[in-house]
Amino acid sequence: MKGKESFKTAGLVVALLLFMWALYMIFIFVPTEATMGISQRIFYFHVPLAWLGLLGYTLVFFGSIMYLWKRRSGWDNFSSSAAELGFIFTTLFLISGSLWAKPAWGVWWTWTPRLTTALILWFIYIAYLTVRFYASEKQQGARFGAVVGIVGFVDVPIIAISTSLWRSEHPGALVFQGGLTPEMTFGLMVSIAAFTVLFVYFLAIRTSLKQQEMEVERLRELVEQDQ
């Protein structure tokens, strides 16, 4: 237990240091993009958030398969925690996209393939969380969640293809023409690393919190049965 705790604290410290570095990179180190100016810097938040949304659902998928196979509630706690986090980061991705769209295109929302895919993924996260919420008991919720976790995951690539096919007929604005300078790529990598470590840290905390909740519940049952 003690080793686990210090491991978590280390995770938090690493995340903190990486974030300080990332902030330095984003606001001081990387050059300002030529056509979009300062607002392009939101890109260094926007991309990692998208990555975490996808990473989250990939972990949900993995945890779901493991749960249906092994039937250990630990796997269910893992995938439901990943879903909660993935949902939050996908929400932040949609918000950051919206904030970026306003200065870039003058509108709060634009149906680019990526934003559209993310929006649908966001709805799939909601579906996953909804089905757990409305299940008549916990194990059933875990099972149903796993089913949505698996079906939703295999659907994501098809959604991505369909939205890009859909938009290719009505070409929308590209993100930016020039591509990334090496400094920009480096800054982006640091930011992605910082966000990923934060995600893993949150995931570990949330999963173990759920484990503890279950343990409390189990002990309470035991006490009630003995009375």
Which residues sit at the interface with other proteins, rule CB under 8 A?
68, 120, 123-124, 126-127, 130-131, 134-140, 143-144, 146-148, 150-152, 154-155, 158-159, 161-163, 165-166, 169, 217-218, 221
**CA nearest 190: which of 15, 32, 34, 12?**
15
Residue that is written with structure tokens 């903190």 in the block: 16
**C-beta neighbour count of 157 within 10 angstroms:** 10
Closer to other proteins at the Cβ: 162 or 208? 162
CA dist 125 and 141 (Å) reads: 14
CA dist 79 and 181 (Å) reads: 37
Q: How far is the CB of 54 from other proteins (least distance, A)?
A: 16
Q: How far is the CB of 136 from other proteins (least distance, A)?
A: 6
In the DSSP assignment, the letter for residue 36 is T
In order, the DSSP letters of 93-130 are HHHHHHHHHHHHHSSS----HHHHHHHHHHHHHHHHHH
Closer to other proteins at the Cβ: 41 or 132? 132
**Angle between the N-to-C axes of helices 73-105 and 182-226, in degrees from 0 to 180, rounded to the nearest 10:** 140
Sign of the four-CA dihedral 59, 64, 66, 71: positive
Q: How far is the CB of 7 from other proteins (least distance, A)?
A: 29
Q: How far is the CB of 219 from other proteins (least distance, A)?
A: 9
Closer to other proteins at the Cβ: 38 or 209? 209
CA dist 149 and 129 (Å) reads: 10
Closer to other proteins at the Cβ: 8 or 167? 167
Closer to other proteins at the Cβ: 102 or 138? 138
Q: How far is the CB of 104 from other proteins (least distance, A)?
A: 24
Q: How far is the CB of 127 from other proteins (least distance, A)?
A: 5
> Is the distance from CB of 191 to CB of 33 less than 8 angstroms?
no
Closer to other proteins at the Cβ: 94 or 148? 148
